[in-house]
Amino acid sequence: MTQTKPTQRTAADLTTTELLTAYAAGELSPVEATQAALDRIDQLNPTVNAYCLVDAERALAQARQSEKRWHRKQPAGKLDGIPVSIKDIFLTRGWPTLRGSRTINPDQPWTEDAPAVARLREHNAILIGKTTTPELAWKGVTDSPLTGITRNPWDPTRTAGGSSGGAAAAVALGMAPLAIGTDGGGSVRIPAAFCGITTIKPTYGRIPHYPASPYGTLAHAGPMTTTVTETALLLDVLSEPDHRDWSALPPPTHPHLDTLENGVRGMRIALSLDLGYATTHPDIAHAVTRAAHTLEQLGATVEQPDLHLDDPVEDFHILWFSGAAKSCQHLTPEQIQQLDPGLQHIRQQGLTYSAQDYLEATNTRMKLGQRMGAFHQKWDLLLTPTVPIPAFQAGHEVPPGSPSPRWTSWTPLTYPFNMTQQPAASIPCGTTQDGLPIGLQIIGPRHSDARVLQAARALEKAQPWQRPQLNPKPTSHA
């Protein structure tokens, strides 16, 4: 482990709420906060490889404009002056969106913002740069032929998870307090658990998304932060409407922040360490069970019912691998040979499925959604580990020695809730004996995003969390 003893906090370590309070009091300026984030990137990005693009000049220009507004006591937007990173999957005006792929030409006009990026601009967030992703966001770890390996802030020999691994590492290390990621099978929750940050994959459609993902309605956008309050605030911003997503939900009736402090008293919460088919590391089982007991002490009713689901992984593969084939359909044979070998493999497998196969997988998905809908008639929330194993060696899709070649083999508790479109948060709940973060997954019925965040906030207050302290010694990205 390459950690150091905690040092004095700087502007890069402040939460969004702390930054906004300091701006209002005149104790700190957006320029200082942005420069602190840029300095932290210069210091630590060579070790973890979280950013693939940093635009310091443009970020500081935005920060100076924000500083003027705060000096006039006329901030504009909920995030005025807050540094934020963009996963390199979202279209971003003025920056190339390469999606971790050598097959995309950066030398072309980049004139459009994805909905999430547009909302950030409207609320005057400071766009720092773009974070790393595996090629076309296809797997649960972050490495690509274009940008190399992204590493874990707690131990750079380990993976940061994925596919939003760059975003998670950046947030964990104070390279900007906020990030936006995507999640088609766990891709904000997996790296949040491995890097010790907070996130939510909201109900499908809660955050408008454009262009439509080749993975269809499995894919969600999600906020990634260090605290539940920041997650709720960013979700409120990202949930604002955008006409380009025909499947988007209407904006929430009330801000998610409104009910965040209501606690869990009276909630009926179920705990499952395995969903009936997974195997969970003992350290993780212990931490998740302890978190459940904490919620019980806060007034919830917590039980461990028999929840014996069938692992839907084969049907998820049909949906996911078909999406991979779709994402590569425009490539030439020469470009296909440039792809990540694992992506080449699932693309080829995706081409073998028929429309009937896809519809059968969709039918399994619908039945799982009905099963969970019935489950939530009794239970307000479901708790599971986010990922049942600790972060493993960086640069591998699966833990070395694993009998399965695919990432879904070690994250069996995340992708089912993309299939059902339920909101699912991940919040840190402890560390393993080796000092690696453990994530608690909090799942609610569809449209219960506020309830999920409410429980996450109650646990966060009862079990405070600290960021990692990383020794900034460069680690090879080879």
Q: For residue 52, give both structure tokens.
A: 């693939």
In this model, does residue 476 exceed pLDDT 50?
A: no
Q: Alpha-carbon Rg of the chain, whole angstroms? A: 21
Q: pLDDT digits over 296-326, tens only?
A: 999 999 999 998 899 999 999 999 999 999 9
Asked whether residue 331 is assigned to any structural domain, the reply reads yes
User: What pLDDT score was predicted for residue 472?
Assistant: 53
CA dihedral 223, 227, 228, 234 (to 10 degrees): -40
Asked whether residue 2 is assigned to any structural domain, the reply reads no
Please list the residues that pair with 130 across neighbouring strands.
53, 86
Residues with a catalytic annotation lie at 87, 163, 187
User: What pLDDT score was predicted for residue 473?
Assistant: 47
User: What pLDDT score was predicted for residue 468?
Assistant: 84
In this model, does residue 391 exceed pLDDT 80?
A: yes
Residues ≥6 apart with Cβ < 8 Å to 461 = none
Asked whether residue 289 is assigned to any structural domain, the reply reads yes
CATH number of domain containing 173: 3.90.1300.10
Expressed as residue numbers, the domain containing 166 is: 12-462
Please list the residues that pair with 95 across neighbouring strands.
92
First to last CA, the chain: 19
Q: Which of 172-176, 282-286, 438-442, 464-468 has the lowest mean pLDDT?
A: 464-468
Q: Which strands make up the sheet holding 437-443, listed edge to edge?
A: 51-54, 126-131, 83-87, 178-183, 220-225, 198-201, 424-431, 437-443, 381-385, 268-271, 301-303
Residue 226 in contact with residue 172, Cβ under 8 Å? yes
Region 245-254: what's the mean pLDDT? 95
Region 273-295: what's the mean pLDDT? 98
SS3 of residue 264 by DSSP: coil
Q: For residue 10, give both structure tokens.
A: 């700087």
Q: How many residues appear in the chain?
A: 478
8-state DSSP, 92: B
User: What pLDDT score was predicted for residue 8?
Assistant: 67
Asked whether residue 53 is assigned to any structural domain, the reply reads yes
Asked whether residue 262 is assigned to any structural domain, the reply reads yes
Q: Which amino acid is it at 321?
A: F
User: What pLDDT score was predicted for residue 469?
Assistant: 77
Asked whether residue 475 is assigned to any structural domain, the reply reads no
Asked whether residue 132 is assigned to any structural domain, the reply reads yes
pLDDT band per the 50, 70, 90 thresholds, residue 466: confident
Domain count, the chain: 1
User: What pLDDT score was predicted for residue 2?
Assistant: 46
Asked whether residue 7 is assigned to any structural domain, the reply reads no
